[in-house]
Amino acid sequence: MTIEIKVPALPESVTDATLVGWHKKTGEPVTRDENLVDLETDKVVLEVPAPASGTIVRIVAEDGATVEAGDLLAILEEGEAAVAVAAAPEKEKEPPVEPVAVQNKGPIKTSPAVRRLLDEHDLDATMVTGTGKDGRLTKADVMAFLKADDSSNVTPGDPAPVVVDDSAVQGLARNEQRVAMTRLRARIAQRLVEAQQTAAMLTTFNEVDLTEVMALRSRYRDEFEKKHGVRLGFMSFFTMAAVEALKRFPVVNASVEGTDIVYHNYYDIGIAVSSDRGLMVPVIRDVDQMSFADFEAALNALAKKAQDGTISMEDLTGGTFTITNGGIFGSMMSTPILNQPQSAILGMHTIQQRPMVVDGEIMPRPMMYLALTYDHRIIDGKEAVQFLVAIKDQLEDPSRLLLQV
């Protein structure tokens, strides 16, 4: 039986996706639920699994194509008989269908990626012939137009341009490479710029002595891992301290919606995670109801999903406060940007031994700078400073975390 493989329903507010790459070729056998192709949206990468075991007999949408929900991606021949179809002589196969160019007329629907490419080169969509569905423009159409336009600028009969080998003069070739942003990277860029243009962002700093946290972690690390099956990291200490501080200063856990301040009586904490596809902020929900072990397990699971590219829209939405740790890359100090519509974000940094005055004596201490970027439209400087002090107090005396004082 022949099965059509189509683009699945896309997440809410996402209109189209880019076909990142096929994991199978025409004629290759597949098994049920095996991932066939990756589709990248503005927010996540979606996998399209095989609906049944069989053989891919035709691929309709190629790498780089812009597709919408319901568009045809490939044809699958179900069952063992499909192998014979795939092995048939080339002349007996259905000839490939070439894309039909459709001259664009009137308003043209384009994807965000295509619109950006048109804007970059000051092009009107009506200038380009679309080969996509119903004459839809694809990135490949725009790139082909630009390439043809460049070649047309050479007048017949003109002398060939003289190519100068810079390497002979400078001893080193000077090369450039232009790579289009992925949809995820473009979306990240858009959100960061929107945050800077919308919120009245201000950052305040403090520093924390982690002597007691490091001693407590060192004392119970092995026993903790043996009992719970997860490592005891610094992030759980900071997150639990942040939640306690959020309880004391609810506006830091609030969000801005138009002219309203929305106060949340729950604590869904976003943890910034770096992945091959860019920065992601998966959300751990109801952290105030978690133990240290529960939090570490949830964080590890989400970090793995981010690295594997299997993270879902549900994992990335709905946070009330965000924590980012640039210290793992060696950052000494930074001013993080808000993850809107949240009103604040906490930045952690690298731990360094520095000379500090303790009880009148100078001694080395493991110190970390903390940064809180907040929306000054709803959070006053006093609240921001007191919020950081509350975190500092709990980390410098971790027993406060257990007693919630």
Cα–Cα dist 307/286, whole Å: 23
348 forms beta bridges with: 325
Cα–Cα dist 121/108, whole Å: 17
Give CATH 4.10.320.10 domain extents, the chain. 112-150
Secondary structure E strands in 63-181: 66-67, 72-78
Query: What CATH code is assigned to 2-92?
Result: 2.40.50.100
Give CATH 3.30.559.10 domain extents, the chain. 184-403
Tokens standing for residue 99: 């894309």
Decide if 376 is catalytic.
Answer: yes
Decide if 380 is catalytic.
Answer: yes
23, 228, 264, 376: which is the annotated catalytic residue? 376
63, 222, 286, 380: which is the annotated catalytic residue? 380
User: For domain 184-403, which architecture applies?
Assistant: 2-Layer Sandwich (3.30)
Cα–Cα dist 200/194, whole Å: 12
Give CATH 2.40.50.100 domain extents, the chain. 2-92
User: What is the pTM assigned to this prediction?
Assistant: 0.62
Q: What string of pLDDT tens digits covers the 405 residues of the chain?
A: 888 888 888 776 677 888 888 888 888 899 988 888 888 876 677 888 888 899 989 898 888 888 888 889 999 898 764 444 444 444 444 455 444 444 444 456 566 667 767 777 777 777 777 776 566 777 777 777 777 765 555 444 555 455 545 554 455 678 888 888 777 778 778 888 888 888 899 999 999 999 999 999 999 999 999 999 999 999 999 999 999 999 999 999 999 888 899 999 999 999 988 777 667 889 999 999 999 999 999 999 998 888 777 888 888 888 999 999 988 888 899 999 998 889 999 999 999 999 999 989 999 999 999 999 999 999 999 999 999 999 999 999 998 877 766
Cα–Cα dist 300/296, whole Å: 6
Query: What CATH code is assigned to 112-150?
Result: 4.10.320.10
